[in-house]
Amino acid sequence: MVHRREVDGNPIALGNHGALWGNAMTWWDHETGSIWSQPLGEAIAGPLKGTRLELLPSTLTTWSDWRELHPETVALDADSTTGDFELDVMSIVVELEDESIAFPVPSLRTEGPANSDVAGVPVGVVVSPGSDNWSVFSRQVGDKVVMFDLVGEVLVERGGPGRWDPELGLPLDESGEILNKLPGFTSFQEDYITFFPRGFFWVEDDQLISVDSRGPYELGQ
């Protein structure tokens, strides 16, 4: 997840606080010493308690794929200590306003893109075929709301002419519109329940399971 590090228009500098809250990372800001929850992007202690940072759209992709599209990119050269990334044990979370839905990756792989609504916003959640790359797009395309399907490695408009790259939302023909990318982030099921107790899990056919009424369930069931 990527947050805009500004409070009331002023940039803040964040560092690793070194402690866990809800079994997740916390930050501290150099300006006020407030402590922030990384999953929530919210100050949980200190002068800025209750302040939330803006969540920004981001992309999870491979370095080779990114360099192919953006050859001018530079990056920090550091040894990786994170080990293998296991996306299939996680969910992709979309939080808009006061509503959040977790979309389990195994279900997205078997059922295809999720066509859902979060806080009244039509969203599509896509895991790219044969990779761990994922994206969250608005389903509002021009003056209409569309449904997404995957056909091979192409994201298509159900019953319509739209065709897009499933990772970037770029149209595959000159007449198409670029999809608007929305914020999203990955989370383990247990962590989602901890930080979003009033949230929902998405199941195929856009069914939702309430966390507060049903609790955990078997991912990909």
How many C-beta neighbours within 10 Å does residue 157 have? 17
pTM of the model: 0.76
- Number of domain units in the chain: 2
Q: Say if residue 48 is in the same domain as residue 117.
A: no
Per residue in 47-73, pLDDT tens?
A: 999 999 988 888 767 777 778 878 888
Q: Check if the beta carbon of residue 153 is closer than 8 Å to that of residue 112.
A: no
53 or 218, greater pLDDT? 53
The DSSP line for 93-126 is EEEETTEEEEEEHHHHHHH-SEEEEETTEEEEEE
Give the amino acid at 114: A
Q: Say if residue 131 is in the same domain as residue 105.
A: yes
Q: Say if residue 50 is in the same domain as residue 64.
A: no
Residue ending a domain, choose from 56, 78, 94? 56
Q: Say if residue 64 is in the same domain as residue 49.
A: no
Q: Say if residue 33 is in the same domain as residue 119.
A: no
Q: Say if residue 8 is in the same domain as residue 75.
A: no
Q: Say if residue 82 is in the same domain as residue 156.
A: yes
Average pLDDT, the chain: 86
CATH number for the domain spanning 144: value is 2.102.10.10
Q: Say if residue 94 is in the same domain as residue 175.
A: yes
How many C-beta neighbours within 10 Å does residue 13 have? 10
**Parent domain of 143:** 57-221
Judge residue 221's burial from the number of C-beta atoms within 10 Å of its C-beta, 0-12 exposed, 13-18 middle, 19 or more buried: exposed
Stretch 81-102: mean pLDDT: 82
Per residue in 194-214, pLDDT tens?
A: 889 899 999 877 789 898 765
Q: How far apart are CA 96 and CA 55, in angstroms?
A: 9
Q: Say if residue 41 is in the same domain as residue 110.
A: no
Q: Say if residue 44 is in the same domain as residue 81.
A: no
Per residue in 110-119, pLDDT tens?
A: 888 999 999 9
How many C-beta neighbours within 10 Å does residue 148 have? 23
Q: Check if the beta carbon of residue 91 is closer than 8 Å to that of residue 193.
A: no
Q: What is the largest CA-CA distance in the chain?
A: 53
Q: Check if the beta carbon of residue 180 is closer than 8 Å to that of residue 169.
A: yes
Q: Is the pLDDT of residue 46 over 80?
A: yes
Q: How far apart are CA 208 and CA 84, in angstroms?
A: 30
